Amino acid sequence: MTENLLTRTERAEDADDAWVLETLRRHEPATMHTQHPVVWHHARGSRVFDRRGRSWLDWTSGILTANAGHGREEVAEAIAGQARQGLLHAYMFPTAVRARVVRALSELTGFPQCVLYTTGAEAVEGALKIARRHARAKGRRAVIVTFDGAFHGRTLGAQLAGGLPAQRDWAPECDDVFVRVPFPAAGEPWSLAEFEGELHAVGVRPGDVACVMGELYQGSTLRGLDPAAAVALREWCTRTGALLVFDEIQSGFGRTGALFAHEHTGIRPDLLLCAKGLSGSLPVSAVLVADPRFTEGLRPGELTSTHSGNPVSLAATEANLALFADGRLVAQAAERGRQLAAGLDGWASRRPDRRRVVGAFGMVAGIAFTTPDGALDPPAARRVVTECVGNGLLVCVPSTLGGAMVKIMPPLTTTEAELADGLALFTAASDAAQRD
């Protein structure tokens, strides 16, 4: 049918990268066009290809999603199999694939309940609803406490919870509900007394809090949550009755060398948020619930949406989860992460006055470019990334630390040789950009 509607010329245009870029430019707002004009045609393992077969070693994982590698045969087969079964959508009617996925997630993580969604931001909104309903049922004010520098997505609630003021300035003031406090970053001073003091200063008593939500490393600042602070916050939440929510949408599914980054802290949250690497492909997210009592007060349908539980997306998720079941992928991420950290130390030592590793957690790292006097140097970061892309290494356009930080996030399946190649390309690009 569609085939008949397309003229020959349109089909020719469709295959042309310049047509793709121009059409997107014409029909989408400029704000969508953040990345280099590399038109993805297909992607496999650690490489992304354009339609002419040119390829790039991928250091983006499609923004930390293709953790198990691009285009996994197992995942593609599962998607095709579900489509062939003839069920592309089922709303909230029960399906076998949904039952298998929630059971698999529960077995893999130890969290007894699971609420499925599509995007990360949707899971964040769901968690906020669970936490606030739970708190309201106990007659609490239900304040949401989050951290400066946090990123939780781009919907209204997620941005109100976020700790990046410039991203929030379109949203209404809701400071009586959303309260942000300094992030307890490893290596920086923090105490529970200061945390309570920050809340007290804005009129929030411990019994007012519905939840404390944080990332295990901040995607925007590449600072890690201090493990001792995580333990202290866990105890505080247990004592005060607030829920501890870990947003592992970015840090989950092996990225930091553990299945979930909170495993490095030894404590568990009450709600755990996953997306991205959960399916590694189609849009699926989840709120994992540690105790069924947290969802008891919710009315029927309050956590559902049209596409939560989509059978095709869940078939992809089931196949992707199976890739994590024996722990080998996570172990490989840990090993490759050590190689990445060592490589970046070598990279920094070539120009210690102009380069800095901001943070490195397994297979994700943030590195910053500076001028000799220590000021951040966004133009250098941009030059390096442009040079990398021109030489076959795909790196996202720098957007954090004022555009001076480059984020390195290869698929966890990247081989030792591929990572060595990537580091060599990146070092050469950096040396070229900082020759003066």
Ligand X SMILES: Cc1ncc(COP(=O)(O)O)c(C=O)c1O
Among the residue ranges 37-45, 243-251, 258-266, 344-352, the one whose residues contact ligand X (CB under 6 A): 243-251
Task: Find residue 181's DSSP bridge partners.
Answer: 147
Q: Is 215 in the site for ligand X (CB under 6 A)?
A: yes
Tell me whether residue 124 or residue 142 sits nearer to ligand X (CB atom): 124
Enclosing H/E stretch for 244: strand 243-247
Among the residue ranges 133-141, 146-154, 333-341, 423-431, the one whose residues contact ligand X (CB under 6 A): 146-154
Please list every residue from 25 through 44 that binds ligand X, using CB under 6 A.
none
Residue 409 identity: M
Tell me whether residue 204 or residue 274 sits nearer to ligand X (CB atom): 274
Q: Is 129 in the site for ligand X (CB under 6 A)?
A: no
Which two three-digit tokens encode residue 69? Answer: 């590698």
Q: Is 120 in the site for ligand X (CB under 6 A)?
A: yes
The one among 275, 290, 344, 385 contacting ligand X by CB under 6 A? 275
Q: Is 426 in the site for ligand X (CB under 6 A)?
A: no
Shortest separation between residue 153's beta carbon and ligand X, angstroms: 3
CA distance 100 to 115: 13
Which two three-digit tokens encode residue 276? Answer: 């991205």
> Is the Cβ–Cβ distance between 336 and 414 less than 8 Å?
yes
Q: Is 247 in the site for ligand X (CB under 6 A)?
A: yes
Query: Which residue's beta carbon is nearest to the bound ligand X?
Result: 120
Among the residue ranges 3-11, 150-158, 177-185, 287-295, the one whose residues contact ligand X (CB under 6 A): 150-158
Among the residue ranges 17-25, 30-38, 244-252, 389-397, the one whose residues contact ligand X (CB under 6 A): 244-252
Shortest separation between residue 203's beta carbon and ligand X, angstroms: 28
Q: Is 151 in the site for ligand X (CB under 6 A)?
A: yes
Task: Find residue 367's DSSP bridge partners.
Answer: 357, 406
Q: Is 410 in the site for ligand X (CB under 6 A)?
A: no
Comparing CA positions, the residue from 369, 376, 389, 339 lying closest to residue 430 is 369
Shortest separation between residue 384's beta carbon and ligand X, angstroms: 22
Q: Is 153 in the site for ligand X (CB under 6 A)?
A: yes
Q: What are phi and psi of 181, to 5 degrees?
A: -130, 165
> Is the Cβ–Cβ distance between 19 and 13 less than 8 Å?
yes
Shortest separation between residue 182's beta carbon and ligand X, angstroms: 18
Q: Is 274 in the site for ligand X (CB under 6 A)?
A: no
CA distance 144 to 411: 33
Give SS3 for 248: coil
Cα-trace Rg, the chain: 22
Among the residue ranges 3-11, 39-47, 120-128, 226-234, the one whose residues contact ligand X (CB under 6 A): 120-128
Among the residue ranges 11-19, 117-125, 368-376, 405-413, the one whose residues contact ligand X (CB under 6 A): 117-125
Tell me whether residue 97 or residue 275 sits nearer to ligand X (CB atom): 275
The one among 121, 316, 365, 408 contacting ligand X by CB under 6 A? 121
CA distance 189 to 216: 17
Q: Is 377 in the site for ligand X (CB under 6 A)?
A: no
Shortest separation between residue 349's beta carbon and ligand X, angstroms: 30
Enclosing H/E stretch for 136: helix 120-137
Q: Is 411 in the site for ligand X (CB under 6 A)?
A: no
Q: Is 125 in the site for ligand X (CB under 6 A)?
A: no
Laid out side by side, the sheet with 42-44 consists of: 42-44, 47-49, 55-58, 393-394
Tell me whether residue 170 or residue 435 sits nearer to ligand X (CB atom): 170
Tell me whether residue 115 or residue 121 sits nearer to ligand X (CB atom): 121
Which two three-digit tokens encode residue 94? Answer: 């029960």
Burial call 179-198: b when 16+ CB within 10 Å, e when fewer? bbbebbbeeeebeeeebbeb
DSSP secondary-structure letter at 413? T
Distances (CA, A) of 171 to 130, 234, 312, 318: 22, 30, 34, 37
Tell me whether residue 215 or residue 270 sits nearer to ligand X (CB atom): 215
Enclosing H/E stretch for 73: helix 73-85
Q: Is 119 in the site for ligand X (CB under 6 A)?
A: yes
Please give the size of the binding site for ligand X, defined by CB under 6 A: 13
Give SS3 for 357: strand
Q: Is 117 in the site for ligand X (CB under 6 A)?
A: no
> Is the Cβ–Cβ distance between 275 and 284 less than 8 Å?
yes
Residue whose pair of structure tokens reads 């307890």 in the numeric block: 184
Q: Is 250 in the site for ligand X (CB under 6 A)?
A: yes
The one among 70, 72, 98, 152 contacting ligand X by CB under 6 A? 152
DSSP secondary-structure letter at 224? B
The one among 69, 184, 219, 362 contacting ligand X by CB under 6 A? 219
Interface contacts to ligand X, rule CB under 6 A:
119-121, 124, 151-153, 215, 219, 247, 249-250, 275
